[in-house]
Amino acid sequence: MRLLGVIISAALSLNRHVSVVSSAFFYWLRQLRRVRRSLEDESAAILVHAFVTSRVDYCNLLLAGAPKSVTDKLQRVMNAAARVVSGTKYDHGLTHLLHSELHWLDVADRVTYKLEVMVYKCLHGQAPDYLSELCTPVAQVAERQHLHSASHHLLVVPRFQFDTYGRRTFAVAGPTTWNLFQDNLHEPDMQIDCFRRILKMTLCLFDQYTAH
């Protein structure tokens, strides 16, 4: 089934979708590589963003909780895109290029970033009601207001039945991931620009740490 350009199987697997879009991305990267020598670095980055990285992010919330084997396919696309932008052909120093020079998040962290921004919007009245009602602060549940988690502005994580995709629903994945981050990202009065900046910085530092 194809919905809004996303191919979803009956088992809610995104393997086929990721394989199809990865092939399309590599096609565009091959075309860009042919003209790379004629482009300035800034122009190359703009084209790569227009044809590849922006499309990697399209509907990527559906990849929340997806297996690493799935996100790794898109990560190979991002790695190839970074090589096109930098004009290099080899993987040597690729991690430094991705995280320190281009300031790109890994694919799994790009999903986390968008997921947490959506949770932020739900908690601040900037998201549709059907999503906002899925993000309930522990402090708003009468029998849990005395818990340690309430004072840390954590969210209620509902129980789910099917581990294969139940944990990947926004109602579960959003609050679960939100609760993993440090308290300074949970401050109720934090503005969204500040939230985005600290969240990306946190994820970038995590990528650099795990790379070593």
Q: What is the pLDDT of residues 167-178, one digit of tens each?
A: 888 999 999 999
What the block records as the tokens of 142 is 């009468």
Q: What is the pLDDT of residues 38-95, one digit of tens each?
A: 999 899 999 999 988 888 888 888 888 888 888 999 999 999 999 999 887 766 678 8
Structure-token match 């696309």, residue found = 77
Whole-angstrom Cα distance, residue 6 to residue 59? 8
Whole-angstrom Cα distance, residue 135 to residue 123? 7
Looking at residue 76, what is its pLDDT? Answer: 92
Whole-angstrom Cα distance, residue 69 to residue 85? 25
pLDDT grade, residue 120 (50/70/90)? very high
Residue 196 confidence (pLDDT) above 90: yes
Looking at residue 211, what is its pLDDT? Answer: 55
Q: What is the pLDDT of residues 139-193, one digit of tens each?
A: 887 676 666 666 778 999 998 776 666 788 899 999 999 999 988 899 889 999 9
Strand, helix or coil at 8?
Answer: coil
pTM reported for the whole predicted model: 0.84
Whole-angstrom Cα distance, residue 169 to residue 73? 22
